[in-house]
Every structure is written in structure tokens, then in C-alpha cells.
Amino acid sequence: MDELTALKVVGLPLLVGTVGWCVALRCGPKLCGAVAGLTVVLSCIVVQGTVVGWPSFPPRQSLHLLPLLVGSGALLGVARGRGLTLALAVVLALAPAWFLLGRLPDVELSSRALWAVGTAVMLLLLWTPTLAPSQGALPGPGVLAVVAGGAAVAAIFSHSVKLAEITGGLAVCLGLIAVLTLWRPHEQVCRGASLAGSAALGALLVYGQHFLSMPPLELTLLLAGWATLHLARLRPDHPWTVARQLRQALLAALPVITAVVMGFLRYTAEQESNPYY
């Protein structure tokens, strides 16, 4: 990684995440979650702006749609009430597949609708732990950071450095919030960051699924790492100590590392079979 790439993928998310964390802690209980979510969204969009340029309107390429889809995730942190949050989550889960699939050639309306509904159901199942009330939200940023980091490496092995950099920036920001949470736990901030991070990661994975050569098994392993957040809800009364948060992140890392290893082996085999790849 050269200095410019490190600045874009690591430096900017760390800067945005640090400033956002400090601001969120100084806000009231009704605003801190929204500020944390906006921080994650801004981090992802800033990285994308430096990687592929700021999006044009109307979007000229599929990656230009991602800031719109990612930015909408900030609304989840603002929503109040379980009913409104769930209704908004349904819309945001449908949006990535519906808008991105529309840019694929020769996709019939029926196929587009089927894929969109199926993708939305999968995303909602993955989002369920973060859509719940803030109690037990502390492991969310750490698990999402692990999955986003794995997805970034998987994107490299699927020949998309740009998507890897954007997803890597998301992982850095979420990872920063997870580390700061170990030092100073704050469930509302973690929930806001997890809600926005889930929407952003969902949009990025949908893009990787339909526009890159990421095999279904590798994608499934990444989703399995994300799904470990459901296990975090098994003991809601058990305190979230530092050790327990680290164990939860390690549990998510197991299938994610497996996906990365499989991607590396596939990438190596492709290079050996085609030296001009």
C-alpha cells in the first residue's frame, strides 16, 4: 500500500471517525446515535470521493450509486420508534438490489424484482440484531469491521481495487469505533454506527455480488461472519466485558478468514492459469 492509498483508506476514515466520535459523545442521548451513524456514512463517502471521484448526477457508472445508497443508511440512526425503524430498513434493504440490478444488461423486470426481494430479506435478517434496541449493541461495530475488512480483501481477489478501498475505509472507521468502545463503552453510539455500517456494508456486498466475480461460497462465508451478531443476543443480561467483545469479533473472523483464504487460492490459481490476467 503506497502513501496515497494509505491516506485515502486509513488516514481519512481515522480522521472522520475520531472527530465524529468526539462530537457524538458530547451530544444528548437522542442525537449521539445519529451522529455516530452519520460519521460512518461520511467516512465511506469521503473515501469513495477520493477513490473514484465525486458522483455525477445522474450517475454515469454503478459505483456512483453507492454514495446515495450508503448515505441513506444515516437515516436509520435518526429514526425513532421500532415501527418506523423497521419500515425504513425495509426500504433501504430493497434499494441496493433494485437500483444496482437496473444497471445490469438484459435483466428483466421479473428477475430484477425477485433478486431485489430476496436480497432485501437476507439483509433484513442480517440487520435484525442492530435494529433491536441499543442494549447489547456494543459488539456491532467490531463484527461489522471484521466483515468489511474481509470483504475488502475479497474485492481485491475479485479484481476490484476501487471497491476494496471503499470497503476498507468503512472497515477502518468501524474498527476505530469498536476500539474506542473498549475504552469507553457507549451503546447508543455503537447502535448508530452499526445501523449505518450495516446499510453501507449491505450496499457494497450487493455491488460485489452482481458486478464482480465473487463466488457464492465466499460471499456466504462473509455473510456467516456477519450473522454471528445473532449469537450476541443469546445472553442479553450478561455484561459486555472487553473479553466478551473480543471473543465475539474473533467468532465473526473465523468464517471471514476462511473466505479470504479461499479467495486467495482462487486468485493464485487464476494467475497461474493466465499469466496475462
Reading the chain (277 residues) residue by residue, the pLDDT tens digits are: 667 778 888 889 999 999 999 998 888 877 888 889 889 988 888 888 888 777 666 666 677 777 777 777 677 766 666 777 788 888 888 887 777 776 666 777 777 788 888 888 998 899 888 887 766 678 889 999 999 999 999 989 888 888 899 999 999 999 999 999 888 888 888 888 998 899 889 888 888 777 766 788 999 999 999 999 888 777 766 777 888 889 999 999 999 999 999 999 988 887 777 655 5
The amino acid that residue 194 corresponds to is S
pLDDT for 138: 83
| Count of structural domains within the chain | 1
Nine cell digits for residue 104 = 445490469
DSSP assigned state of 105: T
Structural domain harbouring 75: 3-273
HSE-CB at 242 with a 13 A cutoff on CA atoms is: 6
pLDDT for 77: 67
HSE-CB at 66 with a 13 A cutoff on CA atoms is: 32
Reduced to 3 states (helix: H, G, I; strand: E, B; else coil), residue 246 is: helix
Nine cell digits for residue 72 = 441513506
| Pair 169, 47: CB distance under 8 Å | yes
pLDDT for 114: 85
Reduced to 3 states (helix: H, G, I; strand: E, B; else coil), residue 214 is: coil
Q: How far apart are CA 4 and CA 10, in angstroms?
A: 10
Nine cell digits for residue 163 = 471497491
What CA dihedral angle connects 179, 182, 183 and 185, to 10 degrees?
Answer: 120
| Pair 225, 171: CB distance under 8 Å | no
pLDDT for 241: 82
pLDDT for 134: 67
pLDDT for 14: 93
pLDDT for 95: 80
Q: Quick one: CA dihedral 167, 155, 256, 130, positive or negative?
A: positive
Q: How far apart are CA 64 and CA 77, in angstroms?
A: 23
| Pair 124, 93: CB distance under 8 Å | yes
pLDDT for 177: 94
Q: How far apart are CA 47 and CA 40, in angstroms?
A: 11
